[in-house]
Amino acid sequence: MGFKRYDGFMGSMPQKFIDDKLPKCPMCATNNPYWTLSHEIIFLTEFYLFKCSECSAILSVRMDDVVKLMKSSTPKLNFFRKLTSEKPQVYFKIKVAGNKQKTACYDGVEMTIDELAKLADSL
């Protein structure tokens, strides 16, 4: 699977999403993870893969979950979503813990994006 940046218009939504939500890598604590993207299909389910360029840690998340998360954070939709404004619980899996891991073994652990951001902040 090849990883690359999607800074253009096409396919840049998940790129922006991870750059915004996780500006610091939760595995190696770099402030410039320069996330690259790839995807894979497991049992007919599509996953995004986000790779830290510093430590090669890889996070995986279901594509439709990312879409759900992005929709829930689009201001335009907030008015209509107010009644059911529960943030969708979306779990990112730490597929590869990376080679500069500063934390305990998180290989295969699943966390929400907020928990990952908190973990990154605690490093």
Residues binding Zn ion (CB under 5 A) = 25, 27-28, 52, 54-55, 57
Helix (H, G, I), strand (E, B) or coil at 118: helix
User: What is the nearest approach in angstroms of Zn ion to the Cβ of residue 8?
Assistant: 24
Identity of the residue, 27 or 86, whose beta carbon is nearer to Zn ion in the bound complex: 27
CA nearest neighbour of 120 among 14, 34, 5, 21: 21
Which pair of tokens denotes residue 81?
């979503």
Residue 60 CA to residue 75 CA, distance in Å, equals 26
Identity of the residue, 55 or 111, whose beta carbon is nearer to Zn ion in the bound complex: 55
Residue 66 CA to residue 50 CA, distance in Å, equals 12
User: What is the nearest approach in angstroms of Zn ion to the Cβ of residue 47?
Assistant: 19
Identity of the residue, 76 or 104, whose beta carbon is nearer to Zn ion in the bound complex: 104
User: What is the nearest approach in angstroms of Zn ion to the Cβ of residue 32?
Assistant: 9
